[in-house]
Amino acid sequence: MSYTIKSGDTLGAVAQRYNVTMTQILAVNPNISNANSIRVGQVVEIPTGNSPISEGSIVYTIKSGDSLDKIARNHDVTVTKILKANTNIKNANRISVGQKIVIPTNSFFSQLTDFLTLKWVYEPTNLNVEINPYEPATNGGIDVEEIVDEEGTLVEDTVQITSEHQFNRKKFFAAYRDTFGSLNQSQVNGLGSLLLSFEQDEDITYIKYMAYMLATIKHETANKFLPITEYGGRSYFNKYDPVLANTASRRSRAKRNGNTVKGDGYKYRGRGFVQITWKNNYKKLGGALGYDLVNNPEKALEPVIAYKIMSHGMRHGTFTGRRLSSYISKDRADYRNARKIINGLDKANLVKTYAEKFERILRKSAT
């Protein structure tokens, strides 16, 4: 069906009105290149219930060197599924650069990407809209006051946290507020998406790992629990630049870390949950995760990608050569020295305190 954009409309609002997703609308409207740029009187197609585009689908733009086989492998789907979702493709060997296709996937990460896209499209409109899929479970009708007052049952680290063994949101947020204080909706959204990430990340099964990651994120994002860009004006990042740095040693250091062109200091400034810097790190992590972060460094600010960067980097020692398993295991939690994974012992005791509190919060809310 077709819909004509009216004054005050956003694409996110239209999607919610027709019970579809932003991704689904963009998939059937290839002429819309920017979800935030729609005009009054513009006609958009609304996918119907017969559409082959699934809830978790994403829209992908064909790049030079792409093939359907390569795209399928990178998104963990089959070529057959891609062709089924793109009936306009008659020959799998004939796709063109710039062509938009639908990648059908119901994976957790694609669903989370779609949720956050929808949420953030609303925010610039200053509407008082709350879109939160992380509604706390009732757990038999336990009141928040009861949870705050009770001691709770501690879950040992011999229990793996998986998609079938989740955290009770009501208990988690009640315990968080009791421990750290109040939360705004943005923080709730950020923490909710992180809990969902932990539950779906097969490489993160120890509560201690999760506690230290949350502690690190709390510190590195200044309590926002969302990916951020390193603070500072453009000139501040000259110290990372191979041309603009004010000393020979800084210019040499920049080149050793892959910043070889004037402007690279600013281009590859810190981004994400753990503030990755330097072109070499963007290249290394992008290659490991399947993203072109060198040409698109701003992707490190996308919550799903930022989470993957943090999880991979902390587990594999990508940031400093130190990895989580060196300090934390089922029977050990050296939260102070684990700070070396990110930044020496800078604020190590503060992050250690956060981790200890998060561990208790997570244990009380593990169901």
CATH code where residue 45 lies: 3.10.350.10
Q: Name the more confident of 71 and 20.
A: 71
If asked whether residues 261 and 198 sit together in one domain, one would say no
Residues 6+ apart with CB under 8 A from 290: 74
If asked whether residues 13 and 139 sit together in one domain, one would say no
pLDDT-derived band at 57, boundaries 50, 70, 90: low
If asked whether residues 208 and 237 sit together in one domain, one would say no
If asked whether residues 39 and 94 sit together in one domain, one would say yes
pLDDT(76) > 90:
no
* pLDDT value for 111: 47
Average pLDDT of every residue of the chain: 79
If asked whether residues 222 and 337 sit together in one domain, one would say yes
If asked whether residues 145 and 85 sit together in one domain, one would say no
Angle, helices 303-316/108-122, rounded to nearest 10 degrees:
130
Domain that holds residue 86: 2-111
Mean pLDDT within 190-214: 89
Residue 158 inside a domain? The answer is: yes
* pLDDT value for 1: 81
Residue 311 inside a domain? The answer is: no
* pLDDT value for 105: 60
* pLDDT value for 49: 53
* pLDDT value for 121: 37
Phi, psi (rounded to 5 degrees) for 201: -85, 105
pLDDT(252) > 90:
yes
Q: List 100's β-bridge partners, or say none.
A: 61
Give me the CATH number covering residue 296. Answer: 3.30.20
pLDDT(129) > 90:
no
* pLDDT value for 220: 93
Mean pLDDT within 277-306: 92
pLDDT-derived band at 153, boundaries 50, 70, 90: very low
Tell me how far apart the alpha carbons of residues 249 and 272 are, in angstroms, rounded to a whole number.
27
Residue 126 inside a domain? The answer is: no
Residue 7 inside a domain? The answer is: yes
pLDDT(284) > 90:
yes
Residue 76 inside a domain? The answer is: yes
pLDDT(120) > 80:
no
Count of alpha carbons within 13 Å of 106, Cβ hemisphere only?
5
pLDDT(132) > 60:
no
If asked whether residues 164 and 215 sit together in one domain, one would say yes
Whats the size of the chain, residue-wise?
Answer: 367
* pLDDT value for 37: 74
* pLDDT value for 155: 47
If asked whether residues 141 and 160 sit together in one domain, one would say yes
Q: Name the more confident of 161 and 337.
A: 337
pLDDT-derived band at 225, boundaries 50, 70, 90: very high
What's the number of domains the chain is made of? 3
If asked whether residues 330 and 223 sit together in one domain, one would say yes
pLDDT(112) > 70:
no
Largest CA distance in the chain: 65
**CB-based contact 159:209 (threshold 8 Å):** no
Tell me how far apart the alpha carbons of residues 43 and 38 are, in angstroms, rounded to a whole number.
9
* pLDDT value for 333: 94
If asked whether residues 153 and 233 sit together in one domain, one would say no
pLDDT(338) > 60:
yes
pLDDT-derived band at 58, boundaries 50, 70, 90: confident
Dihedral sign (CA 170, 174, 177, 182): positive
Residue 125 inside a domain? The answer is: no
pLDDT(126) > 60:
no
Residue 116 inside a domain? The answer is: no
Q: Name the more confident of 4 and 138.
A: 4
Tell me how far apart the alpha carbons of residues 217 and 224 are, in angstroms, rounded to a whole number.
8
Last residue of a domain, one of 111, 144, 176: 111
pLDDT(133) > 70:
no
Percent of the chain with pLDDT over 90: 44
Percent of the chain with pLDDT over 70: 79
* pLDDT value for 79: 81
Token pair belonging to 347: 């604020």
Spacing of C-alpha 114 from chain mean position: 11
Residue 124 inside a domain? The answer is: no
pLDDT(147) > 60:
no
If asked whether residues 93 and 174 sit together in one domain, one would say no
Among 44-58, 155-169, 315-329, whose mean pLDDT is lowest?
Answer: 155-169
Last residue of a domain, one of 78, 111, 144: 111
Tell me how far apart the alpha carbons of residues 172 and 169 are, in angstroms, rounded to a whole number.
5
* pLDDT value for 55: 46
If asked whether residues 35 and 155 sit together in one domain, one would say no
pLDDT (tens digit per residue) in 4-48? 998 888 877 787 777 777 767 877 787 786 666 788 899 998 876
> Which residue in 355, 336, 354 sits closest to 346, CA to CA?
336
pLDDT(245) > 50:
yes
